[in-house]
Amino acid sequence: MALTLTPLSNIPLIRRDDPLADILVRALRDSRVALQDGDILVVAQKIVSKAEGRMTDLATVTPGAGAEKLAVQIDKDPRIVELILRESRSILRSRPGTVIVEHKLGFVCANAGIDHSNVSEDGSRSEEFVLLLPENPDRSARQLRSQIESATGKRLGVQIIDSHGRAWRNGTVGITIGISGLPGIVDLRGRPDLFGYTLRITQVGAADELAAAASLVMGQAAEGTPAVHVRGFPYELREGSLSELLRPPEEDLFR
């Protein structure tokens, strides 16, 4: 089966409390995409965070002593460091310009996923605004899915993605931070391979594979394509959650 990814057009700059589900339904129509049962919408974290009011003006942030100390060590704005600490369970590594943390959501990422790019509140080039990740991306995906399904009458999956680095490899890729209506992991253990050998280990990070593909279509800079329609996902849709994709600390050899 062919996998087709279609970028959705005419999505405006999103602001706090914008009706994101309605905007995505209009974008589907403007892109001449008629939803079918089993389709998936992949949505960039940035527009979800903006709609949910996760924009923060650094002028309102007062760093504590811990943030001030760490900011000197890593040569970073102490106000941003304060936000990183608030959004994190623990600091794992640090170097000038970067802090690797275990985010409150459970995954490991740089700078708690706090974003400076393309986030100004008024569309200007102001550097005083930063964007935090959604408080509960799974919940955000469920809400979007429910609203879009109600508006269209179709059964679909919704995925929220962000760009993260990876241990031992350069470059960022799209990864899943929230899902509803599609699997995070597809467990192939017990199935035969091409030669009849029974698979014993293979579990496919299907949601992250799709996130990486959608990220290619979205772009990483000024492309302005924060949502992608997917048809032909090669696995059966089911309820899923971010937790499927998170390796327990006791099994994590990189910490």
Residue 191 has a pLDDT of 75
Residue 205 lies in domain: 4-54+133-245
- Do 36 and 111 fall within a single domain? no
* Number of residues that this document lists for the chain: 255
For 84-93, the CB contacts below 8 A with 24+ separation are: 84/111, 84/112, 84/114, 87/112, 87/113, 87/114, 87/132, 87/133, 88/112, 92/255
Give the start-end residues of each E strand in 146-255: 156-166, 169-180, 186-187, 203-204, 227-231
User: Same domain for 123 and 137?
Assistant: no
* Predicted local distance difference test score (pLDDT) of residue 250: 86
Q: Which of 79, 100, 131 corresponds to the end of one domain?
A: 131
What gap in Å lies between CA 171 and CA 16, rounded to an integer?
30
- Choosing from 131, 156, 178, the residue where a domain stops is 131
Query: How big, in percent rounded to 5, are the helix, strand and coil portions of the chain?
Result: 30, 25, 40
How many Å apart are CA 158 and CA 182, to the nearest integer? 7
Residue 255, domain member (yes or no): no
Residues 139, 191, single domain; the answer is yes
pLDDT value, residue 28: 97
Beta bridge partners of 231: 4
- 12 and 113 belong to one structural domain: no
Tell me if residue 224 falls in helix, strand or coil: coil
Does 77 map to a domain?
yes
Residues 72 and 97 in one domain: yes
Note whether 187 and 203 are within 8 A (CB).
yes
pLDDT at 180: 98
Rounded Cα gap, residues 125 and 122, in angstroms: 9
For residue 115, tell me if it sits in a domain: yes
Q: Answer whether 129's CB lies under 8 Å from 53's CB.
A: no
pLDDT of residue 127: 64
Residue 174 inside a domain? The answer is yes
Predicted local confidence at residue 193, as pLDDT: 72
Averaged over successive runs of 10 residues, the pLDDT of the chain (255 residues) comes to 91 95 96 96 97 95 96 95 96 93 94 77 65 97 98 97 90 96 86 72 88 90 81 95 92 79
> Same structural domain for residues 205 and 178?
yes
Q: Residue 76's pLDDT is what? A: 93
